[in-house]
Amino acid sequence: MARTDAIVLGAGIVGVSAALHLKARGLSVALVDRQAPGEATSFGNAGVIEGSALLPVSLPRDPLTLLRHALKLSPQSNYRLAALPGYASWLTAYFRASAPAAQAVIGRELRPILALARAEHHALAKPARAMGLLSATGYLKLYHREADLAATAVERALADELGVAYTVLDAAGVRVLEPALKPGFTAAVHWHDCDNVSDPGGLVKAYAALFEQQGGLSLRGDARSLRRSGARWRVETAEGPVDADVAVVALGPWSLDLLKPLALPAPLPMAVKRGYHVHFAAQPGVVLNRGVTDRAGGFALQWTKGGIRATTGVEFARRDDPPTDIQVRRVIANVRKLLPVGAVREAEPWLGFRPAFADSKPVIGPAPGQPGLFLDFGHSHWGLTLGPVSGRLLADLVTGATPCIDPAPFAPTRFAKGA
Ligand SMILES: Cc1cc2nc3c(=O)[nH]c(=O)nc-3n(C[C@H](O)[C@H](O)[C@H](O)COP(=O)(O)OP(=O)(O)OC[C@H]3O[C@@H](n4cnc5c(N)ncnc54)[C@H](O)[C@@H]3O)c2cc1C
């Protein structure tokens, strides 16, 4: 049996980053996953390290837009009717958190952690020799109607107040940055403090390789085998059991599979926001220099090593429900209106699960009522962005160091009655 100071469960961007930060504090660390690092949600995302992000992705509040979503007329979302009863209380909380006043509060709470996100990635990517996977070209959000640009005024005002850099562009300005885009949009906002990742799964693997070079143990095992063993935690792995004083749950959308049997005193109401991707073959001479979002079209585009990756918006369905094709079909048609692209590469789209709390913030901190157990999951639309900085905060909390930012907004106890 191996003994380490800490076990990190889950080798996505969040778990690998936590393992690296704990290792950097001098702890011996075992990183446990049932598969190789960076092969789940952290593999398939849109590849934007979104340091400029301000307001969380929200539910529309005006009745007409909501009706379009309910009638499945919008390419931005989909849902499975049979799954909705299970989402009812989560969706109610999400609707409340989507009110403008609540969004402004959440945006301000998230700003300190988002502001550190890129620097924390660079601090890992440099020693991991992975800076070549990042390009600092910012993120472009396109709008087809002046009214849609006008609707971003609140976010831009917050950006001005908090010092987040952006440029508003007309169609000609966009074409200077992205000459390959076809006409059809009227304006865009170029958010500057963002990196684009050409291989998100490869980035996680590079960080995991750095962890091993630094003496970290990378093991295969089922995290659900976690048990108390006296005052310590024990997990079964292919190499035998591992014991540690500290265990960190970083299983992304699978985190509650482990936690539910532990019956924590405070609930952790996490759901998944499903999302798909496909890759298009690039046409000769067609290049995309940065992540581009076409919200009305329901997709984001990224230039990746597998081709031009198109990711979809949100699907509300149970994590393990079978995939549907309504969003992907619409997105493929809409992408072709915006960019000359070749054939779709996959026979079946990739399906992933954004692990999300209704307030769009992760939980980072000690698990209530379980000494030595720490939580680091629920990063929603920004897990690739926030993995490394979350790892730093988590390591601060595990070791009792002064936290790099105020951890209160991310406290796992925030869902308890009266909190
Ligand atoms: C379509 C889409 C687009 C996105 N775009 C962006 C973006 O542009 N920018 C951004 O910042 N974020 C984006 N996200 C969100 C981001 O991808 C996630 O928030 C992030 O990947 C979550 O990372 P994680 O490490 O928590 O989870 P994961 O990457 O899912 O890692 C969890 C790990 O736990 C392991 N695991 C699960 N169960 C067990 C078990 N029983 N035993 C052992 N191991 C287990 C899995 O194998 C996996 O390796 C996007 C997500 C989607 C779906």
Q: Which of 413, 391, 414 is nearest to 404 (CA)?
A: 391
Tell me what the mean pLDDT of segment 37-66 comes to: 95
Closest atom, ligand 1, to C-alpha of 14: 25
Sign of the CA dihedral with 66 first, then 108, 8, and 207 last? positive
Higher pLDDT, 100 or 263: 100
Tell me what the mean pLDDT of segment 245-261 comes to: 97
Q: Best mutation site among 13, 45, 278 for ligand 1, i.e. most ligand atoms within 8 A of its Cβ?
A: 45
- Which residue puts its alpha carbon closest to atom 44 of ligand 1? 33
Distance 329 CA to ligand 1 centre (A): 24
Q: Please give the C-alpha separations between residue 354 and each of 46, 202, 218, 315, in angstroms, as whole numbers.
A: 12, 19, 24, 10
Distance 43 CA to ligand 1 centre (A): 7
Distance 285 CA to ligand 1 centre (A): 33
Q: Best mutation site among 42, 121, 205 for ligand 1, i.e. most ligand atoms within 8 A of its Cβ?
A: 42
pLDDT of residue 417: 79
Distance 281 CA to ligand 1 centre (A): 25
Indicate the helix (H) or strand (E) that contains 42: helix 41-44
Pair 387, 361: CB distance under 8 Å: no
- Which residue puts its alpha carbon closest to atom 31 of ligand 1? 12
Q: Best mutation site among 9, 124, 354 for ligand 1, i.e. most ligand atoms within 8 A of its Cβ?
A: 354
Q: Please give the C-alpha separations between residue 217 and each of 149, 177, 237, 239, 360, in angstroms, as whole numbers.
A: 49, 44, 11, 11, 32
Taking CB atoms within 8 Å and a gap of at least 24, the contacts of 159-162 are 159/52, 159/54, 162/54, 162/108, 162/111
Residue 222 has pLDDT above 80, yes or no: yes
Tell me what the mean pLDDT of segment 56-68 comes to: 91
Going along the chain from its start, the domains and CATH numbers come out as 2-43+202-264+359-415 (3.50.50.60), 54-198+270-357 (3.30.9.10)
Distance 378 CA to ligand 1 centre (A): 9
Distance 338 CA to ligand 1 centre (A): 28
Tell me what the mean pLDDT of segment 187-192 comes to: 98
- Which residue puts its alpha carbon closest to atom 51 of ligand 1? 45
pTM, whole model, 2 decimals?
0.98
Distance 158 CA to ligand 1 centre (A): 29
Tell me what the mean pLDDT of segment 332-361 comes to: 97
Pair 201, 304: CB distance under 8 Å: no
Residue 1 has pLDDT above 80, yes or no: no
Percent of the chain residues past pLDDT 90, beyond the cut: 96
- Which residue puts its alpha carbon closest to atom 38 of ligand 1? 254
Residue 265 has pLDDT above 90, yes or no: no
Closest atom, ligand 1, to C-alpha of 386: 11
Q: Determine whether 282 is exposed, middle or buried from the number of CB atoms within 10 Å of its CB (0-12, 13-18, 19+).
A: middle
pLDDT of residue 360: 98
Angle formed at CA 127 by CA 137 and CA 192, multiple of 5 degrees: 15
pLDDT of residue 137: 98
Give the DSSP per-residue string, 209-229.
HHHHHTT-EEEE--GGG-EEE
Reported confidence tier of residue 267, pLDDT bands at 50, 70, 90: confident
pLDDT of residue 196: 98
Q: How far apart are CA 6 and CA 398, in angstroms?
A: 9
Closest atom, ligand 1, to C-alpha of 380: 19
- Which residue puts its alpha carbon closest to atom 1 of ligand 1? 275
Tell me what the mean pLDDT of segment 147-160 comes to: 96
pLDDT of residue 53: 98
Nearby residues of 360 by Cβ (< 8 Å), 6 or more positions away: 56, 57, 97, 106, 110, 380, 381
Closest atom, ligand 1, to C-alpha of 257: 41
Q: How far apart are CA 369 and CA 373, in angstroms?
A: 9
Pair 53, 291: CB distance under 8 Å: no
Distance 380 CA to ligand 1 centre (A): 9
Distance 381 CA to ligand 1 centre (A): 10
Residue 182 has pLDDT above 80, yes or no: yes
Angle formed at CA 276 by CA 280 and CA 76, multiple of 5 degrees: 100
SS3 state at 62: coil
Reading the block at residue 318, the tokens are 């149970």
pLDDT of residue 419: 74
Residue 384 has pLDDT above 80, yes or no: yes
Distance 131 CA to ligand 1 centre (A): 21
Region of 184 please: left (phi>0), alpha (psi -120 to 50) or beta. left
Residues with CB under 6 A from ligand 1: 10-15, 33-35, 39-42, 45-48, 50, 222-224, 250-254, 275, 277, 311, 352, 354-355, 377, 379-385
Closest atom, ligand 1, to C-alpha of 379: 19
Residue pLDDT, tens place only, 354-368: 999 999 999 999 999
Distance 13 CA to ligand 1 centre (A): 7
Residue pLDDT, tens place only, 281-327: 999 999 999 999 999 999 999 999 999 999 999 999 999 999 999 99
pLDDT of residue 291: 98
pLDDT of residue 15: 99
Distance 63 CA to ligand 1 centre (A): 32
Q: How far apart are CA 2 and CA 24, in angstroms?
A: 20
Residue pLDDT, tens place only, 93-145: 999 999 999 999 999 999 999 999 999 999 999 999 999 999 999 999 999 99
Helix extents (H) in 241-362: 255-259, 326-338
Radius of gyration of the chain (CA): 21
pLDDT of residue 367: 97
pLDDT of residue 381: 98
- For the ranges 27-41, 194-208, 254-268, 275-289, which has the lowest average pLDDT? 254-268
SS3 state at 111: helix
